[in-house]
Amino acid sequence: MTTPQLQAIVSPSVLASNFGQLTAECKRMIKNGADWLHMGAPVLRCVKKDIPDIFMDVHMMVSDPLRWVDAIADAGGSLYCFHYEATDNHLEVISKIKSRGMKAGVAISPPTPSTVISEEIAEAADMLLVMTVQPGLGGQKFLAHCVPKVAELRARFPHKDIEVDGGVSPSTIGCCADAGSNVIVAGTAVFNAEDPEGVIAGFKENVNAAQAKLVAKPRHQFYETDDKVNLSIMLKECNPDDVKVTITNQSMDFQYGDHRLHLEPLKAQVDPEESGYRVGKVKVEIWLKKRAAARWGGLVSDGTEAPLLPPSTSSAPSKDDVPAHRKHKNWEGAADAELSKEKEKTLSDDPNAGGDAALNSFFQQIYSGGDEDQKKAMMKSFMESGGTALSTNWDEVKKGKVEVAGEDNKRKEKEYLRKKKKGLA
């Protein structure tokens, strides 16, 4: 059983257009190969009136997404995408959206791990959106450390449309496509391009090439214990001589004919010497020995969830020892490099330095190395304060000793308590 190749979809963000010539700008994008138009609510009705046949990809960055469903449907929306962080009732919102004849999308912002997207939510939604900038402002710098979230979601949901939004350009499309995104939102990269048709075509070429590598990914499932992950790949009557499994500290690669499953980076390091596989009549069973006792909850890291591990006792193979087909994007290394560059910036280099981008980078760096109490303290203080305070002292934070930056943060506190109850915080 193979995965059908997902369609490459390019959805130019109208936020970057010339609003004085809005209809003409939208028609220009369609003429140059755009499949959808990505927009917010204010311009939807105007555009739909003049371009009735275009697919309207509506991204709603609102605190009460249920309230706006009818208005967006009446204005001509084709897909209504709301933020996971904005509600506790995700399935109710999705159901309401679909009842109005629209597709439903669920977005996650940079601080939110991809693991909050449950099987139930993903199955109900038509599309998942990973923000690669902070929501609400065009022209921001691409946040590379968000890309592993795409890979993590693609590993769990091979048939789902996955969209990236924010800072996507000809220089960043490659990592987005390779991670598994097939729906691309781009604003200034296409609206300000000398050759928008060429840029859009390049986006589609990258996505189609990356998706072609995924079409032979076999159906698989896994379960885990504290010290081991057991992965079952459903293939009948495999010839053991033709099965190839390569396991390193941070990756697993399975190949059998045109079937391939590649997982990198894994949630945490494994011991290749203690890992292995067995070929059965109806499936191939692979076991990965964890280097540290922990519950992963998934297979591929999203860049924020891997547990703190003791020093490795077995080194990964050198680059020279890795076969050519195994040399893939090192998401963790890319994120580290991006964070280092972000940290060195000044306000004169980038208006976001010292603001959202720098705070997000700082948060990710501290969070990735913290223990469980520190992580709980950081998440609670960050969410309660609306991003204005950050503490690693759980004893103080749990007593409410954190400055809260306004009444609207009550929603964030409610969201945090919901996640805590479900074991996500």
3-state secondary structure of 265: coil
Check residues 311 and 386 and name the one with the higher pLDDT. 386
Residue 79 in contact with residue 50, Cβ under 8 Å? Answer: no
Task: Identify the residue with better confidence: 21 or 310.
Answer: 21
Please indicate whether residue 355 or residue 78 has the higher confidence score (pLDDT). Answer: 78
CB-based burial label for 45 (10 Å; 0-12, 13-18, 19+): middle
Half-sphere exposure of 309 (CA within 13 A, CB side): 21
> pLDDT, tens digit, for every residue of 29-41?
989 999 998 877 6
Give the span between the Cα atoms of 392 and 370, in whole angstroms.
8
pLDDT tens profile 201-238? 999 999 999 888 766 556 677 778 888 998 888 776 77
Count of other CB atoms within 10 angstroms of residue 222: 15
Among 179, 178, 197, smallest CA distance to 189 is for: 197
pTM of the model: 0.56
